[in-house]
């Protein structure tokens, strides 16, 4: 949770972990002196701020500046357009067929937020902010496509699993949670179901392996063999 000051000088709090949506009216602009309980809180705040404006956020660097301490004390978050873009040269592909990935293309944007760990309070404090961008932001209809906005809430995951179990159309989950203003799409729903199936398969294989081991301990004559695929899965 971040302790913040509004434009009128009153403190306000931000709750994290809720589904991503257009929150441009509730998230204040970052400023020097903002404090966060954890670095993860700071990261989540800046990501949500970026989504509200229309840009993605990257963790650029981290440093350990305390003497004889292995703890990260400085973290720099930047706009995804930070830095220079070096276009790769591919001679085998005709130039007219080369299409750069504009979603992650860098354009020397200097927008950033740097946080330091306070040695006394062990809270993270914003020490440096640059809020000017040299590029246009994505439109509200495309905010869902931002990398830092592609987050599926646990409630949505549970609903996807329930819909699948009851043979209901899974693609309805997206519209229930807000349509195009949310941080996931229909593909994310199906990807979640795929991940669930993989976990179940791994769990079943582990159970069978432990059962065979137990049988072999009870009966040394018991023999079993497990065949794995190229990825090491049974």
Q: Is residue 84 part of a domain?
A: yes
117 and 200 co-located in one domain: no
129 and 160 co-located in one domain: no
Residue finishing a domain among 139, 169, 196: 139
- Token match 């001679």: residue? 91
Residue 157 near residue 192, CB atoms below 8 Å: yes
Tell me, what's the pLDDT at 130? 95
Tell me, what's the pLDDT at 14? 46
Burial of 153: CB neighbours in 10 Å, binned 0-12, 13-18, 19+: middle
pLDDT at residue 45 greater than cutoff 60: yes
61 and 126 co-located in one domain: yes
Q: Is residue 228 part of a domain?
A: no
Distance (Å, whole) CA 23 – CA 145: 16
Question: How much is the average pLDDT of 164-184?
Answer: 77
pLDDT at residue 3 greater than cutoff 70: no
* DSSP designation for 97: G
89 and 13 co-located in one domain: yes
Tell me, what's the pLDDT at 33? 96
Could you give the number of structural domains in the chain?
2
Residue 162 near residue 76, CB atoms below 8 Å: no
Confidence of residue 68 (pLDDT cuts 50, 70, 90): confident
200 and 112 co-located in one domain: no
45 and 161 co-located in one domain: no
11 and 60 co-located in one domain: yes
pLDDT at residue 118 greater than cutoff 90: yes
135 and 23 co-located in one domain: yes
Mean pLDDT for the chain overall: 75
What's the pTM?
A: 0.55
- pLDDT tens-digit series, residues 82-115: 876 555 555 555 555 555 544 455 568 999 999 9
Give the range of the structural domain holding residue 18, as residue numbers without chain letter.
Answer: 2-139
């Amino acid at each position: 949770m971040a302790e913040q000051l509004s434009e009128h000088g009153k403190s306000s709090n931000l709750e994290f972990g809720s589904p991503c949506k257009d929150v441009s009216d509730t998230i204040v602009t970052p400023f020097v002196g903002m404090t966060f309980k954890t670095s993860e809180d700071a990261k989540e705040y800046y990501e949500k701020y970026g989504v509200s404006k229309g840009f993605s956020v990257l963790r650029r660097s981290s440093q350990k500046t305390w003497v004889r301490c292995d703890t990260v004390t400085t973290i720099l978050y930047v706009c995804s357009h930070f830095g220079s873009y070096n276009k790769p040269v591919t001679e085998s592909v005709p130039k007219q067929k080369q299409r750069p990935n504009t979603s992650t293309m860098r354009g020397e944007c200097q927008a950033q937020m740097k946080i330091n760990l306070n040695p006394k309070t062990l809270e993270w404090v914003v020490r440096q902010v640059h809020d000017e961008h040299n590029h246009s932001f994505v439109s509200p209809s495309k905010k869902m496509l931002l990398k830092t906005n592609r987050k599926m809430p646990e409630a949505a995951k549970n609903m996807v699993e329930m819909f699948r179990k009851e043979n209901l159309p899974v693609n309805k989950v997206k519209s229930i949670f807000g349509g195009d203003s949310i941080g996931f799409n229909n593909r994310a729903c199906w990807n979640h179901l795929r991940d669930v199936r993989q976990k179940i398969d791994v769990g079943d294989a582990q159970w069978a392996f432990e059962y065979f081991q137990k049988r072999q301990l009870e009966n040394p004559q018991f023999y079993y063999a497990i065949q794995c695929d190229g990825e090491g899965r049974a």
